[in-house]
Structure 1
Amino acid sequence: MIASLQRLFLDLMTSDETSEEEVPTLELATAALLFEVARADYHLDKRELTMLRNLLRRHFDLGGEALDELIHLAQQEAEAAVDHYQFVSLVSTHYSYAQRCELVRMMWSLALADNEPHPLEEHRIRRLADLLHVSHADFIRAKLLVQGHLDP
């Protein structure tokens, strides 16, 4: 998987023109959705960026330059995207329901990393959870798990 990510990054960096039909990888789509949550309150806190790195490192077993490049590309994709459709549809197609619930839990971990819950972050997570077809009960369960109010 690391080799395919590195090929993707190399292709993206050496490409002179980008096609509008290019589809992001599952890793990039996941990272972009997480980055959307991190920037939802219009403030990227150092603790949130650290949490993003840790989440992506564990989730995709990445490190070093591959992880740095994934985060950089995720930031670019999130900032350039008009909507979340391309990311959400890719994740919805390839992730099981349990994996989508885990992604929502990761979103909550990211939003609460700075110990400052923000209504815009909650709104973004709720919207993404709905688009990912994660039930409201599982949305709340993920939040309570991250807050430590439920046992895993």
Structure 2
Amino acid sequence: MIRLAQAYLLEAKWTHQNYKPTFEEFRDNALPTSGYGMLAITAFVGMGDVITPETFAWATNDPKIIKASTIICRFMDDIAEHKFKHRREDDCSAIECYMEQYGVTAQEAYDEFNKHIESSWKDVNEEEGDGYTHVGKAAKGGITSLLIDPIPL
């Protein structure tokens, strides 16, 4: 929650000072303002005793899966927001920051953002595992109980 509030405060300061951040400055601040990291962490609160203090320590240290999920959601939102012009004129957008800094068209910026999104999906899949690439006990157990040792009726 503190990170989110600090990121919002920085956005407000930029707007108030008419400061145009670089794309990297904007991106680094935009990830916390998406709220996805905070949402992931607060989701643990309602899970009871299953969640340990170590889980919260892990989650607050920017694990790869939470960062990748945040990039996916934020960059997809940035593309849609820019395409449909859902930002106020006094707000800067990640797409516009990228276009201005690198001298590219909107479509070139969308393509670059989509590369980051695709790479982040690979990170999420790597962290989660898919149950097929590296078959583990859980997948084998599920298949065995379903097909080999079905529950008698």
Whether these two folds match at TM > 0.5 is no
Q: Could you say which structure has the larger radius of gyration?
A: 2
TM-score, normalization by structure 2? 0.30
Q: 1 or 2 for the larger relative contact order (CA 8 Å, sep ≥6)?
A: 1
